[in-house]
Structure 1
């Protein structure tokens, strides 16, 4: 397993990981984080903190995927809104019936093509689910039906809104962290930052293998080892 590379930085590995984790774990702004680190004797500009989060969150996500616990085969799938450069984009997410995160994907559109991309990504990493529950979204239904008619293993489709409340509730935990950010400046920044937020959210839900007695913070830092 390749280690995450921190060479070339003016700051120690531990300081960088503090900054990344605090930002994706708590509802704070980069200027809030800059002040917090300054109180601990670390002088770092908020723009540098942004670069850390964007650069390292995607690498930490790759490390997490390799160590993620198995999830259930009954999915609840939905999407929520995220503002990027002043425009709404769409964060597709799915959890199993126990609330464990299956996968997530930020897309520019909310249509069958976007839903199909998310479904394909989730299946690639988590396997084919037995059933997927959605709300009344026609795009999501079309994506699942399209998958079934392409000669793939049949997925049972259920459109029952109250059964999908679990994923709607799970959206809120992610949106609570995003709210103080007041939108993202680029799609890449949004994509990578959301990856960090989702990692921390999954760690708190106990989705990392072999976590032992480590705290959620220690589990996050261990991903960089």
Structure 2
């Protein structure tokens, strides 16, 4: 386990297995914090919903970081788009990309929807996954301007296709994230939104079979989630 995870575990008043169960439920299913509190109580354990919230904000980004060490390589034909996420009653923007097989490439929550935000997303995605051959997107001028700026510094430019129907796979993939965030009724802060969304995207990638860890193929998505923290799922 990385040092950040050790520090979180050290300060916990509950066993790690209990908190992992609560956090996994919250990130994997369309549940409110109160739902998670009630469900874990049915298992004979009382955990306040505020505790679940705090631990989710701390644990999920760390587990997502660990996951990236074992993430399967993605294809070189990308589909990119952004969707809306409400933070403190204000819409923010979640930039996302998948390859032509639907595997998640990367994601980034931003306060603005402009060329600078799009470029930050592309820089992050390319740094982690390599340079794609093609990028398909809608006709958003800011996204095209960001790619043009990146292409200007490259020997072999990425092919950009602004064809909406080719991006349907991206639109469909947004639903896997949005259905989880809907019962949350918006986030209270930008930082908490980033943390929880990292966990939702993590679960989404595990379900797509993107964890390249020994024996992962024989485990359920929940067991793979626990394995990232070096734990076995409690029965």
Q: Which secondary structure does the structure 1 equivalent of 2:179 belong to?
A: helix
Q: Please give the alpha-carbon distance, in whole angstroms, between the structure 1 residues aligned to 2:111 and 2:45.
A: 37
Q: Does 1:223 align with 2:228?
A: yes
Give the number of equivalent residue pairs.
225
Q: Please give the alpha-carbon distance, in whole angstroms, between the structure 1 residues aligned to 2:182 and 2:121.
A: 23
Q: What's the offset of the Cα at 1:196?
A: 0.2
Q: Please give the alpha-carbon distance, in whole angstroms, between the structure 1 residues aligned to 2:174 and 2:225.
A: 21
Match of 1:180 in 2: 183
Structure 2 length-normalised TM: 0.94
Q: What's the offset of the Cα at 1:159?
A: 0.4
Segments ≥4 residues shifted beyond 2 Å: 1-4, 150-153
Q: What are the within-5 Å matches in structure 2 for residues 155-170 of structure 1?
A: 155-170=158-173
Q: What are the within-5 Å matches in structure 2 for residues 1-225 of structure 1?
A: 2=2, 4-5=5-6, 6-151=9-154, 153-210=156-213, 211-225=216-230
Does the Cα contact within 8 Å between 1:100 and 1:202 map onto a contact in 2?
Answer: yes
Does the Cα contact within 8 Å between 1:31 and 1:46 map onto a contact in 2?
Answer: yes
Q: Please give the alpha-carbon distance, in whole angstroms, between the structure 2 residues aligned to 1:27 and 1:163.
A: 28
Does the Cα contact within 8 Å between 1:73 and 1:96 map onto a contact in 2?
Answer: yes
Q: Please give the alpha-carbon distance, in whole angstroms, between the structure 1 residues aligned to 2:45 and 2:155.
A: 53
Q: Please give the alpha-carbon distance, in whole angstroms, between the structure 1 residues aligned to 2:72 and 2:35.
A: 33
CA distance 1:75–1:49, change in 2 (3 Å):
same
Q: Is there any run of 5+ residues in structure 2 with no aligned partner, and where?
A: 231-235
Greater shift, 186-195 or 33-42, is seen at 33-42
RMSD: 1.0
Does the Cα contact within 8 Å between 1:128 and 1:153 map onto a contact in 2?
Answer: no
Q: Which secondary structure does the structure 2 equivalent of 1:212 belong to?
A: helix
Structure 1 length-normalised TM: 0.98
Q: What's the offset of the Cα at 1:152?
A: 5.4
Q: Which secondary structure does the structure 1 equivalent of 2:74 belong to?
A: coil
